Amino acid sequence: MASGAPLSTRLGPRQWIAIDSAVAVAWLAVLAGLAVSWHPHQSAGERTAALLLLAPFASLPLAARRRWPVPVFLLVLAASVACGVVGLRVSTLTGPTYALYTVAVQADRTWSLLALAAVEAGAVVNGAEPGAGVNVTLATAGKGNTVTAAFTALAQLTVWIAADSVRRRRAYSASLRERSLREALSEQRVQIARELHDIVAHAMSVVAVQAGVGGHLIATRPDEAAKSLHAIEATARAALSETRSLLSVIRDDDYDLASRSPVPGLDNLHTLVQRVTAAGQPVTLHVEGRPRALPQSLELSVYRVVQEALTNVVRHAAPPATATVVIRYDDGGVVVEVTDDGRGTGSKHSGGGHGLAGMRERVSLLGGELSAGPRAGGGYQVVARLPAEAGAR
């Protein structure tokens, strides 16, 4: 861990328990030493014995303050006040205040306020008790009990304010982490839905078209019907393979959809075009410019844009329509053009489904632009412009 990290994050639970245990033992030694060394006016033996009996209860539980903050605080406070009543007023400044900090940080606000009120009341009780014992505090040796009590109460209030500030900061940090997690999960759900839509919508569109063709031709042209069945089989197998790949990545705790293997990319466009052509929709592919390696996420988006655009052609372009896919490399990045010359209307192409919206989301996430609409001479056109550095974002 970085050396600049806060101490609270650099030390583990065992280290903190060791520190608390050392504090508890040191405080026990202080209380026992004061109990033995003071010189009361009378009943020395009884008072010393009482103080020695109370000292462990006022100190040793501090070792477990992080595990049981409220019980430890109550026990230490009661024993410390009892010490003050007997006559040894190391009061409530040290032990209970040490435990108060933990209550204010770990417990809820109600317990925190109750603990503050209790420790302040303990300071008043010890400060108002005029017993014959020694009046000692770690911070002051003032003669007036009122001054001592006021100083103790102020110190405890300061500690509580600091601890409450720590609690609020931790709660705020936790809320930020939770909100960030929710946003990440929401983004992942959208990404998963987009991937599944592109896979399933394309496959089902091709299967539906080919099933209709096969059913129409099976009685009169069984050889053509058999080709439709082969196209259905190839499309279904490809969709199943991509779906399995997607699901296998989702099962991982830390997954990145763009990093799954195999990821469809530009090398798979020829297979996609052949599959759509075999399904009865003629498609030609042209590559312009100098091809070059692109980031994986950018290649995946290009493939999905082409896939969704061809899916719309299969669904909506009235036969005999042909489609053309152009991949153009330029200095600014990659331009994807998918056009068809069918008689389908633009409203059908851009219907109420999620395909066009999904394409826009993909392109915009990579800092690109997408336009889609009917062509002046008939048919439909989809154009996506993706910057070359998009995948590096």
pLDDT band at 135 (very low <50, low <70, confident <90, very high): very low
> How does pLDDT run across 175-234, given as a tens digit for each residue?
888 887 777 667 767 777 777 777 777 788 778 777 877 787 788 888 877 877 887 888
- At residue 367, the pLDDT reads 86
pLDDT band at 129 (very low <50, low <70, confident <90, very high): very low
**Range 102-130 average pLDDT:** 80
Between 10-14, 21-25, 37-41, 243-247, the lowest mean confidence (pLDDT) is in 37-41
C-alpha distances in Å from residue 240, one per residue of 189, 199, 245, 316, 393: 20, 9, 9, 24, 30
**313 or 206, which is more confident:** 313
Is the separation of the CB atoms in 302 and 198 below 8 Å? no
pLDDT band at 268 (very low <50, low <70, confident <90, very high): confident
**Cα 16 to chain center, whole Å?**
27
Is the separation of the CB atoms in 103 and 77 below 8 Å? no
Q: Name the helix (H) or strand (E) containing 328.
A: strand 323-330
- At residue 90, the pLDDT reads 59
Is the separation of the CB atoms in 16 and 67 below 8 Å? no
Neighbours of 251 (CB within 10 A): 7
**Range 3-10 average pLDDT:** 58
Is the separation of the CB atoms in 91 and 84 below 8 Å? yes
Is the separation of the CB atoms in 198 and 243 below 8 Å? no
- At residue 311, the pLDDT reads 84
The full set of domains in the chain, from first to last, is 7-179 (no CATH), 267-393 (3.30.565.10)
Is the separation of the CB atoms in 361 and 319 below 8 Å? no
> How does pLDDT run across 75-84, given as a tens digit for each residue?
998 888 888 7
Three-class secondary structure of residue 377 per DSSP: coil
Closest CA to 317 of 287, 281, 353, 291: 281
- At residue 370, the pLDDT reads 92
pLDDT band at 326 (very low <50, low <70, confident <90, very high): very high
- At residue 249, the pLDDT reads 60
| 299 vs 315: CA distance, rounded Å | 24
Residue 387 φ then ψ, to 5°: -70, 145
